[in-house]
Amino acid sequence: MNKTEENTVNVLSRISKPVNLLFNLLFIILAAICIVPVIFVFMISISAESSLAAYGYKFIPKMFSTAAYEFLLNESGTILQALLISVLVTVLGTIIGLVLTTTMGYVLSRRNYKLQGFFTWVVFIPMIFNGGLVASYVINTQVLGLRNSMWALILPLAVSSFNIIISKTFFKTTIPDSIIESAKIEGASQFDIFLRIVLPISKPVLATLGLFLSFGYWNDWFQASLYVTDKNLVSLQALLNNMQSNIEYIASNPTAGLSMQQYLSQMPTEGVRMAIAIIIVIPIACAYPFFQKYFISGLTIGAVKG
């Protein structure tokens, strides 16, 4: 590129101060849209129940109280059990999802794979339509027998056509065929190539897919509502959903030796709902910054390079 072309590129890529200011304001607004609701929920969780009854939801509470968190601390057995289920489902589901998604994406990205076209359509069609909820329920409960098992919370969400296409695009545009052919000449098997060559240089797509999967598993409550009736398998999200529809759910097995009426009279209902929502948000929010660099790189998969 000569000097004239370089100057032209610099002029075209330059952002004026008003436009830069507009972009900054836009990003501040978008950040506030994401952060303010979380702060609002937290403020409600530390509001006194009498204040909520008298004044409703306020961004700055009329009366502060930690009763909701104290109540959850007393119910630590129920909360920790639900937290353990959420963590196990998220970790196992993310690992299984990454293994299945990356292996399928890698195979479909190889041009010399004879069934590439057929299986690409098999993966693509479910993005347009699927068998529906009834068919999925029958398969998972009657055929696979997943009802009231942890696998009912993991397997239905493990593979996504969207994630497979992202993986395929990354491997196709990033992994040169020459590297694969060189490894084959050296006698490496397909598993050796995938594990020792492909995966080490695929951190962006692994982080991107890992975040998608972990967010999906951590925030999911629908699978539990469909397939789980055992209270020992209820996740945090399902617990919150049950509380939203029936606040007596968490008091169904009181651990303090109180009657149901005594238990409910001591429960800060609105504060407990919001406190559990905060407990759900914190772990996944703390995990995101560690993957942010790779996640941003993964979002540019398929972009045109200069």
Give the residue from 123, 95, 84, 87 showing the smallest Cα distance to 213. 95
Whether the pLDDT of residue 12 is over 60: the answer is: no
DSSP 5-48: HHHHHHHHH---HHHHHHHHHHHHHHHHHHHHHHHHHHHHHTB-
Residues 6+ apart with CB under 8 A from 289: none
Per residue in 146-175, pLDDT (tens digit) is 888 889 999 999 998 889 988 888 888 888
Tokens of 216: 């999906």
Whether the pLDDT of residue 253 is over 70: the answer is: no
- Dihedral Cα 278, 283, 289, 293, nearest 10 deg: -130
Q: Which residue has the higher pLDDT, 297 or 29?
A: 29
Give the residue from 258, 255, 225 showing the smallest Cα distance to 240. 225
Q: Which residue has the higher pLDDT, 297 or 260?
A: 297
Give the residue from 306, 125, 96 showing the smallest Cα distance to 216. 96
Q: How far apart are CA 85 and CA 213, in angstroms?
A: 16
Rg of the chain on CA atoms, in Å: 25
Q: Which residue has the higher pLDDT, 250 or 305?
A: 250
Give the residue from 131, 127, 197, 194 showing the smallest Cα distance to 165. 127
Task: Identify whether the C-beta of residue 223 lies closer than 8 Å to the C-beta of residue 235.
Answer: no
Give the residue from 210, 83, 228, 97 showing the smallest Cα distance to 153. 228
Task: Identify whether the C-beta of residue 209 lies closer than 8 Å to the C-beta of residue 85.
Answer: no
Looking up tokens 């299986």, which residue turns up? 119
Q: pLDDT-derived band of residue 97, with 50, 70 and 90 as boundaries?
A: very high
Q: 3-state class of 97 per DSSP?
A: helix
Q: pLDDT-derived band of residue 257, with 50, 70 and 90 as boundaries?
A: very low
